[in-house]
Chains A and B, each alone.
Chain A
Amino acid sequence: MKSRFWKERIFPVVFMVAVTVVFISVVSGIYLSTRDMVKLNESLFLKRAVLYAADITVPGKGAAVDKVYRSRVRERLDSEGLVNHFEILEDNEISGYAVFAGGPGLWGKIEAVIGFTEMRDKLTGVEFIKQNETPGLGARIAEEWFKEQFRGKMGPFVLVPEGTAQAEKEVNAITGATRTSNFVLEIINQSLEDIKEGEWPKLR
Chain B
Amino acid sequence: MAKAKVKKVFLDSLGKQNPVFAQVLGICSTLAVTNVLKNTLVMTMGVVFVTALSNFTVSLMRKVIPSRVRMMVETLIIASYVIIVEIALKAFVPDIWRQLGPYVGLIITNCIIMGRAEAFALSNPAGISLVDGLASGIGYAYVLLIIAFFRELMGSGTIWGYQVMGSWWTNWSIMVMPPGAFFMLAVFIWIVKGLLLTHEEKKS
> Can you list 12 pairs linking A and B with CB atoms under 8 Å apart?
A11-B66, A12-B68, A15-B64, A23-B76, A27-B87, A31-B83, A38-B91, A42-B94, A45-B98, A136-B36, A139-B99, A176-B171
- Chain B residues contacting A12 (CB-CB under 8 Å) are 66, 68-69
Answer whether A137 and B84 are a contact pair too, CB < 8 Å, given A15-B65, A15-B69. Answer: no
A77 at the interface (CB under 8 A from B): no
Residues of B within 8 A of A30 (CB): 84, 87
Interface residues contributed by chain A, number (CB under 8 Å): 29
Q: Does B60 contact A (CB under 8 A)?
A: no
CA A16 – CA B74 in complex, angstroms?
Answer: 11
| A93 in contact (CB, < 8 A) | no
Q: How would residues 23 to 40 of chain B score, 1 for a CB under 8 Å from any chain A CB and 0 otherwise?
A: 000000000010110010
- In the bound complex, how far is the Cα of B83 from the Cα of A128, in angstroms? 26
A1-31: CB near B (< 8 Å → 1, else 0) gives 0000001100111011001100110110011
Q: In the docked arrangement, what's the CA distance between A135 and B77, Å?
A: 29
Per the 8 Å Cβ criterion, residues 133-191 of A in contact with B are 134-137, 139, 175-176
A82 contacts chain B at the CB level, 8 A cutoff:
no
Residues of chain A touching chain B, judged by Cβ–Cβ distance below 8 Å, are: 7-8, 11-13, 15-16, 19-20, 23-24, 26-27, 30-31, 34, 37-38, 41-42, 45, 132, 134-137, 139, 175-176
* Complex alpha-carbon distance, A93 and B72, angstroms: 61
Q: For B76, list chain A residues within 8 Å (CB).
A: 19-20, 23
For chain B, residues 39 to 91, give those with C-beta under 8 angstroms from any C-beta of chain A.
39, 61, 64-66, 68-69, 72-73, 76-77, 80, 83-84, 87-88, 90-91
Say whether A135 contacts B99, CB under 8 Å: yes
> Interface readout for B175-201 with A: 1 if CB under 8 Å, 0 if not?
011000000000000000000000000
Q: How far is the CA of A16 from the CA of B173 in the complex (A)?
A: 48
Kindly list chain A residues whose C-beta atoms are within 8 Å of the C-beta of B69: 12-13, 15-16
A140 smallest CB distance to B (angstroms):
9
The complex places the Cα of A24 from the Cα of B76 at a distance, in Å, of 9
Q: Is B101 an interface residue when CB atoms closer than 8 A count as contact?
A: yes
Contact between A34 and B91 (Cβ–Cβ < 8 Å)? yes
- Picked from A8, A132, A176, the residue with its CB within 8 Å of the CB of B176 is A176
Q: Which residue of B lies closest to A176 (CB)?
A: B173
A-B contact count (CB 8 A): 77
- In the bound complex, do residue A137 and residue B177 qualify as a contact, i.e. CB atoms below 8 Å apart? yes
The 7 closest A-B pairs by CB, nearest first: A176-B173, A136-B176, A136-B35, A34-B91, A12-B66, A41-B94, A23-B80
Cβ contacts B87-123/A at 8 Å (1 or 0 each): 1101110100011011000000000000000000000
Is the pair A8, B68 in contact by a Cβ cutoff of 8 Å?
A: yes
Further contacts, 14 of them, CB under 8 A, given A135-B33, A135-B176: A12-B66, A23-B77, A23-B80, A24-B80, A26-B80, A27-B87, A135-B35, A136-B36, A136-B156, A136-B176, A137-B176, A139-B99, A176-B171, A176-B176
B152 within 8 Å of A (CB atoms): yes
In angstroms, Cα B34 to Cα A187, docked, is: 29
Q: Is the CB of B87 within 8 A of A31?
A: yes
CB closest chain-A residue, reference B94: A41
State A38–B94 Cα separation when bound (angstroms).
Answer: 8
A45: chain B residues within 8 A (beta carbon):
94, 98
Could you tell me the distance in whole angstroms from the C-beta of B119 to the nearest C-beta in chain A?
A: 21
Closest chain B residue to A133, Cβ basis? B101
User: A135 near B39 (CB under 8 angstroms)?
Assistant: yes
* A24 CA to B83 CA, complexed, in Å: 10
